Structure formats: structure tokens, C-alpha cells
Amino acid sequence: MSDDAELKMDRPVGETALDRGVQGLVGEPVPRVEGRRKVAGDVPYALDHRVDGQLAHGFAICASIGRGRVEGFDTEEASAMPGVLAVIVDDPLIPRETGGFSDKKLVRGTGQVEHWGQTLGVVIAESFEQARAAANAVRVRYTSEEGRYDASASHGTAKPTGKDAMLPDLVMGDVDGALKHAEHALDRTYTTPTHIHAAMEPHAAIAWWEGDKLTVYNSSQILSLAKSMLAASLDIDEKNVHVMSPFVGGGFGGKGGLGVESVFAALGARKIGRPVKMAITRQQLFHLVYRRSETSQRIRLACGADGKLTAFGHDSIVSQKPGRDFFEPCAFGSIALYRGENRSFTQRVMTLDLPETGSVRAPGEAVGMLAVECAMDEMAEMAGIDPVEFRKLNEPKEDPSRHRPFSERHLVACLDEGARQFGWSRRSASPGKKREGDWLIGHGMASCIRINQLSEARARVRLAANGDVTVEADMTDIGTGSYTILAQIAGEILGAPIERVSVRLGDSDFPKAFGSGGSMGAASAGSAVELAAEDILKTIAMKLGIEARELKLKDGHAIAGERRVPLSECVDRSIEAIGHIEPGKMEDKFDQASYGAHFVEVGVNRSSGETRVRKVTSVFAAGRILDPQTARSQVIGGIIWGIGGALTEGGEVDTRYGSIVNHDLAEYHVPVNADIPPIDITFLPELDNKTNPLKIKGIGELGISGIGAAVNNAIYNATGVRVYDFPVTLDKLLEGLPQE
């Protein structure tokens, strides 16, 4: 590998080999390369792998109190049950809960119960059913203590996050003073409930030992992190740990660190000398995997008669369990979104004895934009200005909080194009004016934003003499299309049809490529692939005695000027390179984000209060779109989740005991097919050379941002009822619905 395969993003990127590519893969809707295998059921997820040896099964023993101490275990009955191989409750390495992105290792048991459902041990048995029965037969003796479970009763205990927090408080000018003297002022508080990860594939692992060497198949978004956390959690050398996760059935942040199942499977396998398979059940997941915090968000806006904001405040109260630093950064998207010289973005954290809070899809923007964009709608109405025009009026020329330029920002173009496609001009500005029988019809819109990030990543690319291309990285595919887009990038630069590119992912022995999370997986791993492929192109150009910019590869041929020769004539052996990307000064010099606009039509039944989303039109600007088909899937998934957050989704905490009572998908309501209309998606052309060599921005979490507010704004337009407490369930609408 030459130094040319390394890049630190300290300056804008010029023309790249990807820009000059002629294979015709990037920017085209290439079907998923693993799609046929998935349809055929030929893709192995964590529990599907076959391993040598007779598999045993693990089942977690979980706390049945919300706070207190464990005084002892009665395990005799469980140990004597059929098929039971081990009951592990006294190992000092027992983990308490899933580890998140910022953890070094899983927190171990101390005898203290810090929340309902915390893991206390594991049963290993010949079958899943036997392990489950025995785990339920273990009797735990507790001393219970009074717990703090009620978020609404704990707001007064919330404390500042501190200047070293991941999102420090930012206050400029005097927001309250601006509100006092403004022509129009708004001061509203919006609340959202706790949200739970609900990935289709369970959190699961298979582990076995060969001497001191541990191998684990699991469901993980970031393999390098899972590997290091697993080694630290078991007090073993990281070089003795091998983690594989070639396919992941959804993660959404909940599989960003390491789950207890990997540690328990490893402990059990070491104990019985056999491979152990273990999955966390859906009911257990609600307490074992970190959740999104409930929030209370105070939005303050002030503007003059011209509609231009003079104040913008977004101050939040969120929760966390004792000893944890993460907090839901509600104001992430707000800080640079709209103008206003008086500004306040603060976070306060209250301590609750509930499962820890952590990263759930689009931490910050997912719930933060619910509040901001509903407030912007109400403020536009107060000022007598169309909601689209009100947002355009308050478009800043630079980041108004940190006074730095935008890398690329086309929010106004998204607003204009979305309004045009949706037919926004036909909307009635007066609520409750459009009806179809018993249905009140309304239209709403919202802006959306997702901060753009880049992580250090490496990837290996190999070009064979026959033109075949191989890509290797520990990058994961959590259903987002990583296999496909990495094949497109490598194939585009090296002139290989998609069927001649082999992508190997999800193995911790491959180069470290960060993984999937934070909407930066494609940018990070993809940039490493681009750099490696470009380095190979330079090697070929050198052999031909030309500059790399003069060389193009297509369908296994090298093309330079009028010359076109088979690649085999200029490549006599495999060429390999490792690309290495690092974030640099660009992320501090420029405000980087993806943008979009949502437009929604709803129908609200005036008799029942039922809300039906009838139409969604969304327009996004997110840099180069590598594959419009996978990109469309990504944002549609986010939009569906955001609709669920607006109308149905929320964890119900029993404030007496600290348990989440709707701990399955029968009672924790997420949208189904019948709830979602056709969704129209448009990506505007954009290249952002401040972000990465691919000139792309993240889209995985963009769709969820703002869509819930667009739904709520449409409900108001249909009914005249504004709701400030999410989700917008029937009971919150019925009393205010027009009856005439």
C-alpha cells in the first residue's frame, strides 16, 4: 500500500477516480447483490450459523424488582431440571446490561439491582425451552429499595450536563427578553415518551472456545467495538477474540456496542466446553438494551412583524440511569437550523432507576425535530405567514450559533421542490375546512436535518489479473445495502461489472472500517474503498506510463485516449491496496448536514379521532447518492418509524415498580403496512467536497427527522387541535374535534 491510499479530511476533495468512473454503477439503482440469497433464506444471521460440536442454549436470569440488592439465589430446583448443564450466578464477569457506543466493556454485576430486568445470571441447557424453564425456576432473594421511576415527577431534579458534555449548553443573547419585546412570541413545551429498539433480528450470539481462542457469531453493528468490549468484559487478550457478523437483521443503534448475550454465551461455552447459542427475547430486550430517553422540550420563538426570528430556544430535560454520561441530544439539529440572534440550547438530565438511555436511530433529531418543527408551524400561523415561506424567511447564511459556513446546504431547494410536487399551494390555511364525509383532511409540512459525520476506517481492495475485484472490511450490513454500495464504488473505479465484484464484510479479522451507525457507515467504509481502488488505478497507470487521470477502466478493459486493451495485458498479477480515511479539519471548519422537507396529508375521523396518513412527499439533499434504490429504502424506513413516533409509539413505565409494561410488539405499537401510504421520495443533485472523497452525506437517519412534526401539523390543519404530548393518540384529539 502506498501513502496515496491514506487521506485525512483537512481540505476539500478535488476530482477523484470515482468522479471519472465510466462503468456506470454509481448513481444507478443496482439491485441488492445479496438480495436473491435473502429472498431464498440463504443468508445466515447470528443464530443461523452452523458450528462444530453439539450446541447448548442459554437463557438470561433477570431481576424482577426495580431497585435493591440481591441477597442470594436458590438454584437447586433449576439445576436438577432436565437438560440443565449449568446455572451461572456467581461468576464475577456476569454483565448487567448491553454496552453502548461509548463503553469500554460491559458493566458487571455487583449485587446491586439498578433497574427492572437487569441480568443477574444465565442458565445453560440442552435446549432453549429447557434453559428458559430453568431460568424461570431460579429463585432470587432481594432486599428492595425505593426507586425513581416517574419521569414527570423528577423534572425538578434535573441537572446541567456540564461544559465537557457531547453537546455543551450554548446560550447567546437574551431569549426571554426577545420574547418579551417581540411582535410574535411562542413558549411551548413538548413531551415524548421513551422509545425502544425493536430490530427484527433478536440480539443473539453463538460462542465457542478453542483453547484460549474465543470465536463469536453475533448481531453487531460495529465489530471492532464488539471485539474490544468482549475481550475487556472477559478479561482476555483482544488478539484471542474473533467476532463475525456477516448479516445483521436491523440494529438502529441498539447493536452498536456489545450485548449481554455474547458475554453469557462465551461464559457458558467456557463452563461446559461446548458451543453455546443465546438470544435475548423480545420481552427481555425492553429492559436489557438501552432505550431512547423520554423528553420534555421547551421551545421558545420570537419574531417581528416581518416574520424573521429574533430568538430561538430549545431547552430539554431528559433522563439517564446513575453512572452514565450519555444523554439524548435533542438540540443537535436545532443549533444551525434557523436564524435568530438570541439563542438557547441547553440540556438537563434527571436520574431515573430505569434501563440506561443510549443511541436510538437519529439520536437528537428524531425527537428534537418533533418539537422544533411543530413550534415553527404554530409560530408561522401566529405571524400570518405560510409555513414554507416562514422557514425560508429564517434561512441563515451561516451556522448562526458557531459562525462557520455550511459545507453544502440546499434546504430551501428541498422546501420549494417538495411544495411543488405535493401541491402545497392548494392547501387551506384555515384548519378544518376540508372534509370527505366523516373525515377531516389536513396538510402539514416540516423541515428535516441530520448532522453529517465521518469516522476513521480502513478497507482492503484486490484486483485480480482477470478483472475480478474483492473488497474486505469489518464493515457490517444491517439491512442498509453495504454489500451493494461498496461493490458499486469498487466496480465503478476498477471497471468491473457488479457480478465481478465480491464484497466480504462482518469479520473482525478484516481491516477495521468503523461499522454501521450514526449515518456514517457508507461515508467511512466507502471512502476507504474508494481510496484503495484509486491507489490500484494509479498502479496500473504507472505501468502504462500515463497519469492516473488519463486512465479509465470499463468492463475489464483499460482505456487511455484512443487505446483500449484488456486489463489482463497490463495486470499480470493481483494488485492489492488498503485505503485509510480519517476525519480532519473539515468537520470543524464547516457545518455539515443532510437536509430535507416532508409534506403530509392526513385524514382524521371526526367521530373516533382515528388518524390516517394518506400521502407523504419528501425531498432530500444529501450529497452524491450512490444508489437511489438503497437510498430510497433507507429514508422510507426512517419515515415509517417517524410516523409511528408521531401516532403510536411509546414505552409505558409502571411508575410503581420500574417495569416497561408494554414490552412486546403486541402492545408496543409500531406501524404496519396498512398504516403507511405510498411515499414519494426525491433526492436533489448535490456533491459535497467538504465531507469525504465520495462527496456523500449520511441518509440512514435523515428520514425520521421532522416527519412526525409534519404529521402533527397536518392533524392540526385537519382539526384545529394542536397536540404537544406525543404520540398523538385518539384520546388527545377527541375532545377538540369539531362536531358540526
CA distance to 88, 123, 207, 276, per residue, from 269 (Å): 11, 11, 6, 5
pLDDT at 166: 86
All three cell numbers of 184? 410574535
Active site residues: 701
Nearest to 302 by CA among 314, 315, 312: 312
Name residue, grid cell 444529501: 622
Say if residue 619's pLDDT is above 60.
Answer: yes
> Which spans in 238-364 are helix H?
260-272, 282-288
pLDDT for the residue numbered 164: 82
pLDDT digits (tens, 9 = 90+) for 267-317: 999 999 999 999 999 999 999 999 999 999 999 999 999 999 999 999 999
pLDDT of residue 209 exceeding 90: yes
Q: How many residues does the chain have?
A: 740
Look at residues 527, 253, 257, 455 and name the one whose alpha carbon lies nearest to residue 365.
253
Give the model's confidence band at 561: pLDDT under 50 very low, under 70 low, under 90 confident, else very high.
confident
The CA-to-CA distance between both ends of the chain, in Å, stands at 75
- Cα 160 from chain centre: 26
Q: Mapped to the 3 state alphabet, what secondary structure does 78-102 carry?
A: HHCCCCEEEEECCCCCCECCCECCC
Lateral strand order in the sheet of 204-210? 84-88, 119-125, 56-62, 276-279, 204-210, 213-218, 241-244
CA nearest to 90, candidates 284, 267, 353 = 267
Angle between helices 521-544 and 482-494 (to 10 degrees): 20
Average pLDDT over residues 710-725: 98
1 pLDDT higher than 70: no
In the prediction, which pLDDT does 4 show? 61
Residue pair 399/336 in contact by the 8 Å Cβ criterion: yes
pLDDT band per the 50, 70, 90 thresholds, residue 93: very high
For residues 248 and 479, is the Cβ–Cβ distance under 8 A?
yes
- Beta-carbon contacts of 255 under 8 Å, excluding residues fewer than 6 positions away, are 199, 203, 219, 220, 221, 248, 478
* Under 8 Å between Cβ of 356 and 319: no
Structural domains of the chain, with CATH = 3-30+454-584 (3.30.365.10), 46-146+197-288 (3.30.365.10), 402-452+592-740 (3.30.365.10)
Percent of the chain predicted with pLDDT > 70: 99
Distance between CA atoms of residues 686 and 410, nearest Å: 9
